[in-house]
Structure 1
């Protein structure tokens, strides 16, 4: 199995299976700083990224948006002064798929790149 950061998202449709509890536990171990949350009955990965100012937060949000578009898998992004909250889940299945963990790892990599 290759590292999550080296993988790409696969197309999901209604009926695509969500990750199993064992898969979720293993994959979450790769991104321990991300929270598993339930919002409106859908399990999601969520993380808050902090910045010195709005411009840095906005630049990060734009980079995550570009990454999402390139992978054709799109998060919820909340941009505020000095912070960005990113939530990943697979809309088509109303929960978590391997794609979400791949994108969480890639989001962390974007954050790690100095401006």
Structure 2
């Protein structure tokens, strides 16, 4: 059975993003996915929701190294976050435009970012 039919067949960090269409994940679906990325949160103030997390670093160089690692993940998955970086912080916000909200892709990318050696 493919992970498209059974998204829980593999850990999120081992899945790959695919084109998504249709409706965004339900609140229940998001809550189930959050168990695999517990340091992330869903912002429901945005229609469809946004998955977000802020990372803290010791200095600007560490922040930029992280930003570049996230860029690599985003490029590999062809799924790109909104990103805000400052001297020692970086906030990532994932959503899927084609479903006007959250999809499995957002949680896959969050898990892949979590798997980076920070």
The TM-score with structure 1 as length reference comes to 0.88
Give the whole-Å Cα distance in 2 for the aligned partners of 1:56 and 1:5.
Answer: 22
Q: Residue in 1 aligned with 2:3?
A: none
Give the whole-Å Cα distance in 2 for the aligned partners of 1:21 and 1:98.
Answer: 12
SS in 2 for 1:74: coil
Contact 2:56 2:88 in 1 (8 A): yes
Report how many aligned residue pairs link the two structures. 110
> Higher helix share goes to which structure?
1
Cα displacement (A) at 1:24: 1.2
Gaps of 5+ in 1: none
Q: What per-residue deviation string (whole Å, max 9, x for no partner) do you get for residues 60-101 of structure 1?
A: 011101110110000011110101101111012221001111
CA-atom RMSD in angstroms? 1.3
SS in 2 for 1:68: helix
SS in 2 for 1:10: coil
Q: What per-residue deviation string (whole Å, max 9, x for no partner) do you get for residues 14-47 of structure 1?
A: xx22112222111111112111103543401100
Give the whole-Å Cα distance in 2 for the aligned partners of 1:17 and 1:40.
Answer: 15
Gaps of 5+ in 2: 1-8
The TM-score with structure 2 as length reference comes to 0.86
Contact 2:43 2:52 in 1 (8 A): yes
Runs of 4+ residues over 2 Å off in structure 1: 38-42
> Higher strand share goes to which structure?
1
What is the aligned counterpart of 1:5 among 2, 6, 13? 13
What is the aligned counterpart of 2:95 among 89, 101, 113? 89
Give the whole-Å Cα distance in 1 for the aligned partners of 2:48 and 2:59.
Answer: 31
